[in-house]
């Protein structure tokens, strides 16, 4: 069976980018780490770096996010966002939500947690022919970190501007698919898709610490059970 959590790490020469892949129909988010609360899949911290969390101002803003703040839910080929409890600050498209609620996600939606401190841009990706949901991309658009979280239902593309998740400086395209046996990479038409320097010609199961490349650029694939950020 597919491991529900994985992470892709990529360095564009200046910054490190992480893409967290989560293969679940219900994804929880909040301040807690998964080791602290198994219902939280995405840790929403203002500065999710252990050394920088010692800053009193950053920690104070993070405390305004509840331990389990809400969920992203897939039902009947449609994504919803669920606001849990009454704790923390939760703003959806500029409107503050103060009580438990369930909202339909538009193709592009923005939410904010902890006042102005943490901003998220949500994008539903569908198959162009069948309109079946492929994934939900949750991108941090604040200035603190350069991470993206993807709730993968079928597949996600990563790389060039037309990809579901765009990486600066990336020329090629990686297509990651969830299957019963695990995470698979589908080679593109260029013929340059490699795993650990070996060209692949057909869908290939990814293993922990595999290195994906399409030329000079590399992405490291890792299995993960927790969601704390360690740089």
Q: Which domains are seen in the chain, by residue range?
A: 5-223 (2.60.200.20)
- H helical segments located in the chain: 56-62
> Given CA atoms 1, 191, 152, 34 in this order, what sign does their dihedral have?
positive
The per-residue pLDDT for 69 is: 82
- Residue 214 binned pLDDT confidence (cut-offs 50, 70, 90): confident
Which of helix, strand or coil describes residue 54? helix
- Residue 143 binned pLDDT confidence (cut-offs 50, 70, 90): low
pTM of the entire predicted model: 0.86
The residue assigned the tokens 């939410």 is 111
Residue 209 burial (CB < 10 Å; 0-12/13-18/19+)?
exposed
Phi, psi (rounded to 5 degrees) for 198: -105, 125
- Burial per residue of 143-172, b for 16 or more beta-carbon CB atoms within 10 angstroms, e otherwise: ebbbbbbbbbbbbbbbbeeebbbebeebeb
Higher pLDDT, 2 or 224: 224
Q: What is the mean pLDDT of residues 207-222?
A: 88
Contact 140, 150 (CB under 8 A): no
Which of helix, strand or coil describes residue 175? strand
- Summarised one tens digit per residue, pLDDT across range 94-132 is 777 777 788 888 767 777 776 656 778 889 999 999 999
Percentage, residues of the chain above pLDDT 70:
80
The per-residue pLDDT for 125 is: 93
The per-residue pLDDT for 203 is: 93
Higher pLDDT, 53 or 99: 99
Provide the Cα torsion 37, 35, 96, 57; round to 10°.
Answer: 130
The per-residue pLDDT for 30 is: 82
- Summarised one tens digit per residue, pLDDT across range 151-195 is 999 999 988 778 999 887 777 788 999 988 889 999 887 778 899
């Amino acid at each position: 069976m597919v491991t529900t959590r994985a992470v892709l790490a990529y360095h564009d020469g200046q910054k490190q980018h992480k893409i967290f892949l989560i293969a679940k129909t219900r994804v929880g988010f909040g301040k807690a780490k998964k080791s602290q609360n198994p219902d939280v899949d995405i840790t929403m911290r203002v500065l999710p770096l252990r050394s920088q969390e010692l800053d009193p101002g950053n920690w104070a803003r993070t405390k305004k996010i509840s331990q389990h703040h809400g969920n992203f839910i897939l039902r009947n080929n449609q994504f919803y966002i669920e606001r849990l409890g009454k704790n923390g600050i939760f703003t959806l498209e500029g409107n503050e939500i103060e009580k438990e609620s369930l909202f339909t996600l538009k193709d592009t939606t923005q939410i904010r947690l902890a006042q102005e401190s943490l901003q998220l841009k949500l994008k539903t990706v569908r198959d162009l022919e069948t309109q079946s949901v492929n994934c939900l991309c949750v991108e941090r658009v604040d200035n603190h970190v350069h991470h993206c979280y993807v709730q993968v239902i079928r597949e996600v593309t990563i790389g060039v501007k037309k990809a579901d998740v765009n990486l600066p400086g990336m020329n090629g395209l990686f297509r990651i698919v969830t299957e019963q046996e695990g995470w698979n990479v589908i080679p593109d038409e260029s013929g340059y898709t490699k795993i650990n320097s070996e060209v692949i010609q057909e869908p290939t199961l990814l293993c922990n610490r595999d290195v994906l490349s399409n030329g000079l650029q590399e992405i490291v694939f890792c299995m993960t059970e927790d969601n704390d950020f360690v740089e």
